[in-house]
């Protein structure tokens, strides 16, 4: 009895995630520091309203 969820494995292909509602002072460094604990990041873009 494993704790893995069906359809998920360690060799899964990279995905895409969109996160909305970020604070205006959020930086790329902030996001890198947070998300690298889940694995390597291939690309990161912060889109801001003008």
For the chain, the domains span: 21-50
Contact 46, 22 (CB under 8 A): yes
pLDDT at 33 over 80: yes
- Report, as an integer, the average pLDDT of 32-50: 88
Tally Cβ neighbours within 10 Å of residue 48. Answer: 7
11 vs 22, higher pLDDT: 22
CA distance 22 to 14: 23
Question: Which segments of 1-50 are extended strands (E)?
Answer: none
CA distance 12 to 48: 30
- The model carries a pTM of 0.60
The DSSP output letter for 17 is -
């Amino acid at each position: 009895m494993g704790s893995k969820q069906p359809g998920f494995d360690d060799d899964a292909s990279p995905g895409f995630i969109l996160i909305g509602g970020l604070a205006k002072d959020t930086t790329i460094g902030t996001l890198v520091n947070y998300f690298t604990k889940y694995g390597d990041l291939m690309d990161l873009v912060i889109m801001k309203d003008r």
